[in-house]
Amino acid sequence: MSKKYRVGVVGATGVVGQEIIKILEARKFPVQLLRCFASERSLGQTVEFNGQRIDVEVLSQETLTDLDFALFSAGSSISKEYCPIAAERGIVCIDNTSHFRMEEGIPLVVPEVNKDALKNHNNIIANPNCSTAQMMVVLKPILDAVGIKRVVVSTYQSVSGAGSSAIKELEDQSRANLSGQELAPKAFSAPIAFNVIPQIDVFLDNGYTKEEIKMINETKKILGSDDIKVTATTVRVPVFVSHSEAINIETQQYLSADDARKLLANTPGVKVVDDPEKLKYPTPRDAAGKDDVLVGRIRQDVSIDNGIELWCVGDNLRKGAALNAVQIAELIISKYSNSINI
């Protein structure tokens, strides 16, 4: 990566945007120029990168120019408006929102799983839902080894997935509750401190939430199969960072728990933490700040012939969002640099 690139971060003052900037620096991404965009509310703020303070710019059609990459994490409406403009100008857009994920012709990418989807990206690439991303790196090696018939997943998602206001709400409600007081919920439909909420995003006519349908549809698109049956229940829990998932996988062929453990231990982006005798299994605190998806509680499903149960935990701000976006940019540079219009 000797060549350097002009990179824009859209939503630079948000939780994911800040994480993107940290990861660009930590991974020594070849940045020639970093520009940080946000709304007018952030005007006057600065962002630190490689020991320098960078002024935040207000995003507009006039300012979104002279870039090679633009990493978007400012909400679907912003991506809808500005990604096509940037793409038309030859800027490779990597979008963390849901807007383009299921659009025909837009690749939805987890680099460890379906990097070949980047061959024809037309300057817009979608990042998957945070819970989908961490599940994909676990499912892919099992799919390749023995095939998958059905996936049943229950997620336990941290408040950081709902942004900085949700983080503050958990902090404030926790303090209030411990002082014998109550604070009315604003970010969620019910109090989140010392509670769990079985709803993420809005309910649809079929009784699922939009978040659950995202996981179902995105899984099929990334794995390239409409034949895999997927169902999901998504739950918000009073954890600041890292999403946890209980995943039941019905496979086409038999896979023992030991073989699943070995398979996952040799999978890039996955770390197996699974020693029940020593009470070793992954927790959200273990995964926070880590790049790998942690997997444990690997066991046979005793209710069917070909089934594996497991528990996985990942930092939703990293592999679930910022890290995956930066990995996509790295992959484009290393394998598909001829697709960058510079």
- 118 and 256 share one domain: no
Count helices and strands (H / E) in the chain: 9, 13
* Structural domain boundaries, residue 69: 5-128+321-339
Helices 323-335, 15-26: inter-axial angle, 10-degree rounding: 40
Q: What is the model's pLDDT at position 9?
A: 98
- What phi and psi values does residue 173 have, to the nearest 5 degrees? -65, -35
CATH number for the domain harbouring residue 286: 3.30.360.10
Q: Are 34 and 49 in contact (CB under 8 A)?
A: yes
- 273 and 163 share one domain: yes
pLDDT band of residue 1 (cuts 50, 70, 90) is: very low
Residue 250: strand pairing partners: 150, 307
Q: What is the model's pLDDT at position 341?
A: 60
- 43 and 182 share one domain: no
Residue 36 annotated in active site = no
- 154 and 276 share one domain: yes
Weakest mean pLDDT among 11-25, 112-126, 327-341: 327-341
Each residue's pLDDT tens digit, 241-257: 999 999 999 999 999 99
- 118 and 137 share one domain: no
Give the Cα separation of 32 and 40 in Å (integer).
25
Query: How far is CA 40 from each of CA 84, 185, 211, rounded to the nearest angstrom?
Result: 21, 27, 29
Q: Are 37 and 10 in contact (CB under 8 A)?
A: yes
Give the Cα separation of 156 and 21 in Å (integer).
26
- 293 and 329 share one domain: no
Residue 243 annotated in active site = yes
- 295 and 159 share one domain: yes
Give the Cα separation of 149 and 307 in Å (integer).
10
Total domains present in the chain: 2
Q: Which residue is catalytic, options 36, 83, 93, 130?
A: 130
Other CB atoms within 10 Å distance of the CB of residue 94: 25
Query: How far is CA 2 from each of CA 21, 30, 31, 111, 168, rounded to the nearest angstrom?
Result: 20, 7, 10, 21, 41
Give the Cα separation of 234 and 237 in Å (integer).
10
Taking alpha carbons only, the member of 282, 271, 276, 232 closest to residue 137 is 271
Other CB atoms within 10 Å distance of the CB of residue 117: 20
Instruction: Give the rounded percent of residues in the chain with a pLDDT score beyond 90.
Output: 96
Give the Cα separation of 141 and 112 in Å (integer).
10
Each residue's pLDDT tens digit, 283-308: 999 999 999 999 999 999 999 999 99
Give the Cα separation of 299 and 264 in Å (integer).
13
- 32 and 179 share one domain: no
- 239 and 326 share one domain: no
Q: What is the mean pLDDT of the chain?
A: 96
- 48 and 98 share one domain: yes
Taking alpha carbons only, the member of 109, 42, 96 closest to residue 70 is 96
Answering whether pTM is above 0.85, one says: yes
CATH number for the domain harbouring residue 326: 3.40.50.720
Q: Indicate if the pLDDT at residue 337 is higher than 90.
A: no
- 183 and 304 share one domain: yes
Pick the residue with more confidence: 339 or 201? 201
- 192 and 295 share one domain: yes
Q: What is the model's pLDDT at position 2?
A: 75
153 burial (CB, 10 Å; 0-12 / 13-18 / 19+) is buried
Q: For the chain, give percent helix, strand, coil, nearest 5.
A: 35, 25, 40
Looking at residues 116-142, what average pLDDT do you find?
Answer: 97
Q: Which residue is catalytic, options 36, 83, 121, 243?
A: 243
